Structure formats: structure tokens, C-alpha cells
Amino acid sequence: MIRTFNFGAGPASIPTEVLEEAQQELLDFKGSGLSIMEASHRSALYEDVHNEAISLMKELYDIPKNYEVLFLQGGASTQFTMIPLNLSKGGTIEFVNSGAWSKKAIKEAKILGLNTKVIASSEDTNFDRIPNDISFSNDIDYAHITSNNTIYGTQYREYPKTKAPLVVDASSDIFSYKIDWSNIGLLYAGAQKNAGPSGVTIVIIREDLIGNHKENTPSMLRYSTHADTNSLYNTPPTFGIYILGLTLKWIKAKGGIEAINRLNQQKAKLIYDTIDNSNGFYIGHAQKESRSLMNVSFNIRGKDKNLEKELIEITEKSNMVGLKGHRSVGGIRASIYNAVSLEAVQALVDIMNKFREENDVK
Ligand code: PMP
């Protein structure tokens, strides 16, 4: 069996070792004669899986003691509503608008009728950078950023300093670098890029921010409901949490998040160097200082749709999927999350170099 090199933006590559372990245990989990999928979420069998995923996450991500890890559903998109419902105190929420997902977060806070303010934006240049004029006010309910912009391929080098709690949508770069938790109020992510399959939403929240929801907030949308019950208020996405746990074990076996980060830097450098050394044949979408280590979005000289299509077709014939760019940028997008191997990236770069040699007429 040949595993396809998956450069998709999400759901994305899952480490082969994780899938193999899941496969081995699929019919008989730890001698129970059951698949973990069939186990009650109230059974000791499942609770061990659940609690191990939480404790491994705390260990690998250095999550301070005054934070809770929650496993929710509804994707990161539900957090766009749940966060303002729980963290707004009727004051202002400030946002950085760095892309389509930031805009969606802003839109949902507005639907709730809350005071929102965009304090920095890169929309004027089709989100080709993280704005550099970010300065959040002190007297706000919270500040919101999207740490990695999946579509445009831009990423913060470091998070802005804030006095108010910083809320981070880390959907496309969770577990890919160490976090300075000092001003973070809440960090959230759908699992389906760096943390396993879709269906699990990870929320890491500072304890003092739990329980401040408005009175008419539905139970399922209160962080306190899930924090009070160890995310077992209702049936959690048990299989997804199990795979998330295996993914965390895989990160640990690789040497932890710092080791993964070093590998990610190496992978990204291979592609960015190929772009930079192409004499303008390949044009990266992101400005250099905002380049993402997770998603590399680029076009071919003159946004040549025929050449871009041809390159994508070649990758597809070469055991690769997921390289078509998002419609708002076009071109090619290589998502090189934690589970995408150096070997996969090297194979892509080889194709890019050969394609340029054959097609760069200038
Ligand atoms: N935020 C970011 C940065 C994303 O990339 C995505 C998904 N691509 C989302 C939010 C939405 O996530 P979900 O599909 O889990 O709702």
C-alpha cells in the first residue's frame, strides 16, 4: 500500500503511525473485545482515553494549572459565537482582521449585537500579511486574533501583547510551536489540521473566564457546563478524542512540540527557498515576514491559470493531493502541517523545480 502525500488544508494528513495504532486496536481495544467507538463515554475504558488526552496536552503544550482543557463540538465556527457569549461583559471586543476566518469571527460577534472594533486589517492587500500596527486597547473585554491564516498562508511570529485576555483561533497551527500563555485568555482550534480528525473542537481557557456567560446562554453553549463535567456533559466525540490522544503521543515520541517546530521550519524553508530562487516564476502570496509554516500559498508568474492547473495535475499524478489553492487566492496551496513528512515536501519541491525548468520561458 502506498500512502498518498496529503497537502490538503483540512481535514488533513494524520501520522501513519497513528492510523496504524488505531487500526490495530480498532476491533479490540486493550483486550475489551470492543472498539473504543463502541465504548460508553461513562466507562472507565473511555474515561482513561479522555483523561490521558487532556493530561498529555497539558504536558506537551506547557498549559499552566489555571487553565482548563475542553473538548467540544461544532467546530471552530461555533466558537465564533460561544466565545462572545461567554467572555463579553457588554464592553468592546477588539479584532485583528487578517483573513476570511477572522471576518467570520467578527461577523458572529456582531450578530449577537456586541460592540466590535477592528483595530488592524490587511484586507486592502488581499490579506498578504499580518498587520504590523496592532495595538489593542486596555479596557476591552477581550482581544481576538487568528494565529495562522489557512487560506492566505500568513502567520504571527509572536502574539501581540495585551492587557485584556487574548483569544486565539489556532485552528491551523495548534501544537506546532510553544505558546507563551501569559496573556492568553482562551485558545481554540478545530482538530482536523494538526490534532486529528474533524469533530473535536479544542478549547483551552483560563479558569477565571469560565462562568461569566449571560444568564440566557443555553447550557450547551456555556463553558462552565463543560468545565464542570470534564467535557462529559453529553456524549463527546469519543473516537476523535482517542485519535487526538494518539496524535499527542506521536508528537511526544517525535521529541515534543519544539522538535516538531524545528522540522516544520525545515519543511517550510524547502518550499519558500524554491519560490525565492525561481526568478519570479513562483510568487508567494504572503509577504516574507508574515509567511506561514503551515500553509504555503503561491501562484505562477502572471497568475497563469493554465500552468497552475498543469502543475496541480502533475502533483496528482505523482501521488499527491490537496494542492489546489483556495478560490480567493487561486494558484497552489501546500498545507504542510505537523503530520506532513519532510519526504513529502521534498517530493513536491522536486516537482516544482522540474516544472519551472521546463516551463519558464521568460
Ligand atoms: N479558523 C481557521 C483559522 C480555520 O482554518 C478554519 C477551518 N478551515 C476555521 C476557523 C473553521 O473551522 P471549523 O471548520 O472547525 O468550524
User: pLDDT at position 1, please?
Assistant: 78
Amino acid at 121: S
For 232-281, write each residue's pLDDT tens digit: 999 999 999 999 999 999 999 999 999 999 999 999 999 999 999 999 99
> What's the pLDDT band for 17 if we cut at 50, 70, 90?
very high
User: Which domain does 321 fall in, by range?
Assistant: 256-359
Is the pLDDT score of 362 beyond 80?
Answer: no
Beta carbons of 254 and 341 less than 8 angstroms apart:
no
Is the pLDDT score of 346 beyond 70?
Answer: yes
**Residue given cell 506532513 in the structure block:** 340
- Domain boundary among the residues 253, 275, 303 is at 253
Work out how many domains the chain is built from and give that number. 2
For 182-211, write each residue's pLDDT tens digit: 999 999 999 999 999 999 999 999 999 999
CA distances from 116 to 89, 103, 125, 140, 170 (A): 12, 12, 22, 10, 20
Q: Which amino acid residue places its CA nearest to atom 3 of ligand 1?
A: 171
Residue from 150, 186, 192, 335 whose mutation best tests the ligand 1 pocket (most atoms within 8 A of CB)? 150
- Domain boundary among the residues 201, 219, 253 is at 253
- Pull the grid cell for residue 199: 469533530
Q: Which amino acid residue places its CA nearest to atom 5 of ligand 1?
A: 150
Q: Which amino acid residue places its CA nearest to atom 14 of ligand 1?
A: 75
Q: Which amino acid residue places its CA nearest to atom 10 of ligand 1?
A: 76
Ligand 1 closest atom vs CA 9: 8
Judgement on whether residues 127 and 272 belong to the same structural domain of the protein = no
Beta carbons of 181 and 161 less than 8 angstroms apart:
no
Judgement on whether residues 159 and 269 belong to the same structural domain of the protein = no
Question: Ligand 1: distance of its center to the CA of 50 in Å?
Answer: 23
**Residue given cell 524553508 in the structure block:** 269
Judgement on whether residues 220 and 241 belong to the same structural domain of the protein = yes
Residue 215 counted as domain residue: yes
Residue 3 counted as domain residue: no
- Domain boundary among the residues 197, 231, 253 is at 253
Question: Ligand 1: distance of its center to the CA of 267 in Å?
Answer: 23
CATH number, residue 127: 3.40.640.10
Ligand 1 closest atom vs CA 74: 16
Ligand 1 closest atom vs CA 99: 3
Question: Ligand 1: distance of its center to the CA of 31 in Å?
Answer: 37
If you average pLDDT over residues 349-354, what whole number do you get? Answer: 98
Residue 237 counted as domain residue: yes
Judgement on whether residues 109 and 205 belong to the same structural domain of the protein = yes
Question: Ligand 1: distance of its center to the CA of 249 in Å?
Answer: 24
3-state SS string over the chain?
CCCCEECCCCCCCCCHHHHHHHHHHCCCHHHCCCCHHHCCCCCHHHHHHHHHHHHHHHHHCCCCCCEEEEEECCHHHHHHHHHHHHHCCCCEEEEEECCHHHHHHHHHHHHCCCEEEEEEECHHHCCCCCCCCCCCCCCCCEEEEECEECCCCEECCCCCCCCCCEEEECCCCCCCCCCCHHHEEEEEEECCCCCCCCCCEEEEEEHHHCCCCCCCCCHHHCHHHHHCCCCCCCCCCHHHHHHHHHHHHHHHHCCHHHHHHHHHHHHHHHHHHHHHCCCCCEEECCCHHHECCCEEEEEEHHHCHHHHHHHHHHHHHCCEECCECCCCCCCEEEECCCCCCHHHHHHHHHHHHHHHHHHCCC
Judgement on whether residues 210 and 315 belong to the same structural domain of the protein = no
* Count of Cβ atoms closer than 10 Å to residue 258 Cβ: 11
Residue from 80, 151, 154, 171 whose mutation best tests the ligand 1 pocket (most atoms within 8 A of CB)? 171
Q: Which amino acid residue places its CA nearest to atom 2 of ligand 1?
A: 171
Is the pLDDT score of 124 beyond 70?
Answer: yes
Question: Ligand 1: distance of its center to the CA of 77 in Å?
Answer: 6
Residue 8 counted as domain residue: no
Ligand 1 closest atom vs CA 201: 15
Judgement on whether residues 229 and 295 belong to the same structural domain of the protein = no
Predicted TM-score (pTM) of this structure? 0.98
Judgement on whether residues 216 and 311 belong to the same structural domain of the protein = no
Residue 1 counted as domain residue: no
If you average pLDDT over residues 44-54, what whole number do you get? Answer: 98
Judgement on whether residues 243 and 286 belong to the same structural domain of the protein = no
CATH number, residue 260: 3.90.1150.10
- Residues belonging to the active site: 101, 169, 193
Judgement on whether residues 235 and 185 belong to the same structural domain of the protein = yes
Question: Which residues approach ligand 1 with their CB closer than 6 A?
Answer: 10, 75-77, 101, 146, 150, 169, 171-172, 190
Ligand 1 closest atom vs CA 148: 3
Question: Ligand 1: distance of its center to the CA of 350 in Å?
Answer: 30
Residue 5 counted as domain residue: no
- Summary mean pLDDT of the chain: 97
Q: Which amino acid residue places its CA nearest to atom 15 of ligand 1?
A: 75
Judgement on whether residues 104 and 211 belong to the same structural domain of the protein = yes
CA distances from 132 to 70, 129, 197, 272 (A): 32, 8, 33, 21
Is the pLDDT score of 361 beyond 90?
Answer: no
